[in-house]
Amino acid sequence: MRLTDSEWQIMNALWLGHPATARDLAERLPDDVSWAYTTIKTMLARLEKKGAVTENKRGNTSLYEPLVTLDTARQSALRNLIDRAFGGGVQPLLAFLARDGKLSDRERRELEEILKEDGDKGVDP
């Protein structure tokens, strides 16, 4: 499932707590996001069509719940990035991260430790 930047904003607000109304989500959006209520409802309808959220009615109120977890959405987004930017290979991504220069020494050590731990478990990096 591919989420747009705007859909990520809505999903992040929903993952903070659910079920939630559109108004709840509007209050959780970052301060620099000032979408109209109808815009949020439109995005929620799109997310429902994508299978990312479900809508349950309680009287006149719609309550939304995520159908995908944050981890699942991240996996999908990362796989999409790897496919587009790194030819589908994880090794080029890891090499890029290691050589990019934006990783702190601590982040490098953490990455190395994660790869080492996964290797010890028999998991391919």
4-17 pLDDT per residue, tens: 999 999 999 999 99
Burial class of 64 by CB neighbour count within 10 A (0 to 12, 13 to 18, 19+): buried
**Residue 18 covered by a domain:** yes
Record the pTM: 0.83
Total tally of structural domains belonging to the chain: 2
Cβ atoms of residues 91 and 99 within 8 Å = no
Instruction: Report in angstroms the alpha-carbon separations of 124 from 74, 76, 99, 117.
Output: 19, 18, 21, 10
* Domain CATH code at residue 17: 1.10.10.10
Structural domain that includes position 46 = 5-66
Residue 122: the pLDDT is: 57
* Structure tokens given for 33: 């996001």
